[in-house]
């Protein structure tokens, strides 16, 4: 991997990690369109450490408060009813599905799941799901002639059941094209949560999974599958760009619809099917590289 490739891929990772359009799919597609080798699951996992560091800094007050309350609740029974302490447990519980499936499906994640036809399918499929979830949320918020405005749930309403459902949605993002934020936000909206609550829990829930995945790949990087210099450079680029995207996205979702992302996902998926069907792109383009 060249330094120019790492710069572009780091930029793509930072721009797409927190938007509901799938960063892993865009890294894969960027390489395929440019004629580069597929950066691979290891590169994706390690550069995600950069974007998750941006999450840690952006949500540092929330995270610090949750960690403090959670640790105190381990010895202080009175703290176990505290919302922040409960959030700590709910983040742990919600991380179980992706942890189990991430280890179980490791070979598929690094191989068959990176087929461009599958990515096109998940881009379109999850785009439709996100569109339906967004419309339902908008209907509740706006009400109508024969409907009253329906109050949606906040993170204070989060239960163990909902946490596990959020976690199952996040696990779907192991398939490139699904999108971690797209799946978890869609799941949250379908369960009746506000856009802001679904996005906030989505970002918090991603921290253990992404950091664990990145650190796991770091332990295996000695086998020679990672170009260290360019990968570290891309990770720093992803951090800087990712932080700016988080700040913009959290403001965007308070007043805007997800429909632009829905349309983008569907159009990109259709384009990908057309290019593969016409023979312009091989469904395994670039896969021979590491």
Q: How far apart are the first and last CA of the chain?
A: 9
Nearest to 184 by CA among 109, 176, 200: 200
Fill in the DSSP letter of residue 147: B
Mean per-residue pLDDT over the chain, rounded: 88
Entry pTM = 0.85
% of the chain at pLDDT higher than 90: 56
CA distance 24 to 260: 19
Distances (CA, A) of 290 to 25, 61, 110, 223: 16, 38, 10, 11
Report the b/e string of 114-147 with b at 16+ CB within 10 A.
bbbebbbbbbbebbebbbebbeebeebeeeeeee
3-state secondary structure of 35: coil
Q: What is the pLDDT of residues 224-268, one digit of tens each?
A: 556 788 889 999 999 999 999 999 999 898 878 899 999 999 999
The confidence score (pLDDT) of residue 289 equals: 42
Q: What is the pLDDT of residues 171-213, one digit of tens each?
A: 998 888 999 999 999 999 999 999 999 999 999 998 988 888 7
The confidence score (pLDDT) of residue 266 equals: 96
């Amino acid at each position: 991997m060249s330094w120019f490739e790492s710069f572009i891929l780091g930029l793509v990772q930072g721009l797409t990690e927190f938007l509901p359009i799938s960063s892993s799919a865009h890294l894969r597609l960027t390489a395929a369109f440019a004629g580069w080798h597929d950066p691979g699951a290891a590169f994706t996992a390690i550069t995600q450490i950069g974007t998750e560091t941006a999450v840690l800094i952006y949500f540092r007050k929330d995270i610090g408060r949750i960690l403090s309350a959670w640790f105190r609740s381990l010895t202080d029974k009175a703290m176990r009813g505290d919302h922040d302490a409960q959030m700590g447990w709910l983040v742990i519980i919600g991380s179980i599905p992706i942890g189990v499936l991430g280890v179980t499906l490791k070979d598929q994640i690094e191989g068959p799941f990176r087929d461009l036809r599958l990515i096109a399918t998940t881009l379109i499929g999850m785009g439709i799901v996100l569109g339906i979830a967004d419309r339902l949320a908008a209907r509740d918020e706006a009400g109508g002639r024969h409907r009253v405005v329906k109050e949606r749930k906040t993170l204070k309403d989060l239960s163990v059941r909902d946490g596990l459902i959020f976690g199952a949605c996040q696990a779907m993002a192991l398939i490139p094209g699904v999108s971690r934020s797209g799946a978890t936000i869609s799941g949250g909206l379908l369960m009746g949560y506000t856009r802001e609550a679904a996005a906030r829990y989505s970002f918090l829930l991603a921290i253990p999974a992404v950091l664990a995945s990145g650190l796991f790949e770091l332990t295996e990087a000695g086998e020679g599958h990672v170009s260290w210099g360019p990968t570290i450079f891309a990770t720093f680029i992803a951090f800087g760009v990712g932080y700016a995207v988080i700040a913009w996205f959290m403001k965007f979702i308070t007043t805007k619809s997800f429909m632009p992302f829905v349309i983008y996902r569907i159009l990109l998926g259709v384009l990908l099917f057309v290019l593969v069907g016409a023979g312009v792109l091989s469904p395994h383009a670039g896969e021979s590289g590491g």
